[in-house]
Amino acid sequence: MTGPADPKGRRSAEPALFPELQLGVPADASEQGTREPRGLGEWVTFIRDQEMPALGATVALIHSVTEDEKSPTGKLAQAILQDAAMTAKVLKLANSVLYNPARHGVSTISRAIVVLGFNAVAEIAIAIRVIDALLAGGVRQRVVNEMARVFHAAVQARALAALRRDGRSEEVFIAALLSRVGEMAFWCFGGKLAQRLDEALAAGQADDEAQMTVLGFRLRQLSQGLAREWKLGALLQSVLDGSNRAGVAEQAIHFGHRFAVEVEGGWDSPGLDKLVRGLATFAGVSSEAMREELAANSVEAARIAGYFGAAEAGALIPRPTPAAGASETGVIEVEEAFAMEPDPHLQLRILREISGRIAAGANLNEILQLVLEGIYRGVGFDRVLFALMSQNRLQLVGKTSLGGGAEALRQAFIFSLDGTPGDLFNEFFRNPRAMRFGPGQTPPGIRLDRLLQVTDAACACIAPILAQGRPIGLFYADRSHSAEGIDDERFEAFQLFAQQVSLAVTAASSSRQNG
């Protein structure tokens, strides 16, 4: 078992069980502080284990979801929804021109996964976590400058890949964005050595020469090492390794970075016209059209940087027109974070989304995930769970859930249905109806002992899911620290969302019968 983590995600110091197996790697930051890492391998280990361990945990979690072929969309949604700030950023990107040019409103992570694709959302989540970790400081201006460059390069590279009709344009964006992760991490966490390198570069020494003199390796090699350690994708590793068999995606990333560097000298710099002509040839468009595309992309790149929480970097991206002239008309704004309080506007957007998906014949799992997220984020509960009766109707089993500790709740949410009078679940399926439990709200004659053993919640509510008028399962939602119980507004909204699944089940049944 690991010790508690500090706010930066580091583990607290604890005695090593077998010191001889530590292989010279410091056990904590205080030991590391006696000297700086030496050599490329030590720097990779230092950044991975001492400075960014929380990132590694996030990447591992998302990879465990994406690499499991049986893993449902809901697991990825749940992993993202645990972090309110990440949720807001993913939704902003899902509503951006970059990912959503048709401007179809996306209000939920579940819907974002459907619109953008499972892998695209997973990669966005990893990139958000990387950028968050690198905004900590260090040689601040170097970090921000690098970040401005990669955001600009990423948006330009994605557009070039799209113009070439390459099917990996979203992957291109993420790979270009993370292609200088080693440089950014070093400037953020390099300490005195980063200051020495900064001074050497400021004195006019060439990049490669200064890096080899001060570090003994190139920062590009640090990017390669970190990309391998965190498994940041085959395309990124191909770009960093400098493969001789560069395809369209690799070339787009290369061109995106060349342009981002060149344009820092100004949109009228001598070498820019030649580069634009080369990009036009690569993309198969005229030079005039290419320049217009590049200009529009630079404005979008600044906006995307802001969505990632890197507005300072976005302000440094060279644009041919003032940033104040940029407009986001038609883009749905998403809250920076969400508290567990009812949000009527968000409820309405999600309900409209659900209605549209039911009318379009979406599968029940998609509707279910939207309802769960609507109850969790829109109605404002700490946890929400969907449970289904077994085929023989003798057991109620938790199937999927959202919120803090939701997975543990799902695993424990298993109840036998044996007809015992007064027991909550037996009475519920004998006479299905919405109920709430809390101070002065628990229906008379209902025993909650089995529920409380599993949930230990201060107040909660349940609502049935019906198929042709017959109960087949329920939604459960709770608030752990509420002294006032569940008010009428929250309870009614909870019931309204739960009813959407019954409507979807009815619609699916009718469709099968008519088919």
**Full DSSP string of 476-513:** EEEETT-SS---HHHHHHHHHHHHHHHHHHHHHHHHHH
Amino acid at 120: A
Structure tokens at 385: 């769970």
For 353-412, what is each residue's pLDDT tens digit? 888 888 888 888 888 888 999 999 899 898 999 999 998 989 999 998 888 788 888 899
pLDDT at 35: 62
The proportion of the chain whose per-residue pLDDT surpasses 90, expressed as a percent, equals 39
CATH class of 33-324: mainly alpha
Please indicate whether residue 3 or residue 264 has the higher confidence score (pLDDT): 264
Do 384 and 481 form a contact (C-beta atoms < 8 A)?
A: no
H/E stretch holding 400 reads strand 395-403
Decide yes or no: CATH 3.40.50.720 for domain 344-514: no
Do 311 and 305 form a contact (C-beta atoms < 8 A)?
A: yes
Structure tokens at 257: 């970075």
| DSSP string across 177-226 | HTTTHHHHHHHHH-HHHHHHHHHHHHTT--HHHHHHHHTSS-HHHHHHHH
Do 81 and 401 form a contact (C-beta atoms < 8 A)?
A: no
Angle at 335 between CA 334 and CA 336, to 5 degrees: 115
- Report CA torsion sign: 276, 277, 279, 283: positive
For residue 205, count other CB atoms closer than 10 A to its CB: 15
For residue 106, give Cα distances in angstroms to 42, 43, 100, 159, 184. 43, 40, 9, 22, 31
For 362-376, what is each residue's pLDDT tens digit? 888 888 888 999 999
- Residue 112, pLDDT above cutoff 80: yes
Contacts 24+ apart (CB under 8 A), 58-67: 58/125, 58/126, 58/129, 59/126, 59/129, 59/230, 59/231, 59/232, 62/122, 62/125, 62/126, 63/231, 65/122, 66/118, 66/119, 66/122
What average pLDDT does the structure give for the chain?
83
Chain centroid, CA 173 distance in Å: 15
CA dist., res. 506 & res. 213, Å (int): 71
Please state the rounded mean pLDDT for residues 111-123. 85
For residue 8, give Cα distances in angstroms to 11, 49, 117, 344, 347. 9, 12, 31, 35, 34
Structure tokens at 302: 């600044």
* 50 contacts: CB under 8 Å, gap ≥ 6: 10, 26, 29, 32
Residue spans of the domains in the chain: they are: 33-324, 344-514
Do 341 and 380 form a contact (C-beta atoms < 8 A)?
A: yes
CA neighbours closer than 13 Å in the CB half-sphere of residue 221: 12
Residue 335 pLDDT class (50, 70, 90 cuts): very low
- Residue 446, pLDDT above cutoff 70: yes
* 270 contacts: CB under 8 Å, gap ≥ 6: none
Range of weakest confidence among 170-179, 318-327, 423-432: 318-327
Do 502 and 475 form a contact (C-beta atoms < 8 A)?
A: no
Do 417 and 425 form a contact (C-beta atoms < 8 A)?
A: yes
pLDDT at 12: 41
The owner of tokens 């023989």 is: 392
Range of weakest confidence among 236-245, 368-377, 453-462: 236-245
For residue 230, count other CB atoms closer than 10 A to its CB: 22
Structure tokens at 31: 């030991």
For 486-515, what is each residue's pLDDT tens digit? 899 999 999 999 999 988 888 777 666 665
Q: pTM of the predicted model, to two decimals?
A: 0.72
Number of H helices, E strands in the chain: 24, 6
pLDDT at 9: 40
User: Can you tell me whether residue 36 is helix, strand or coil?
Assistant: coil
* 510 contacts: CB under 8 Å, gap ≥ 6: none
Beta-sheet pairing, 470-479 with 395-403: unpaired
DSSP code for 50? I
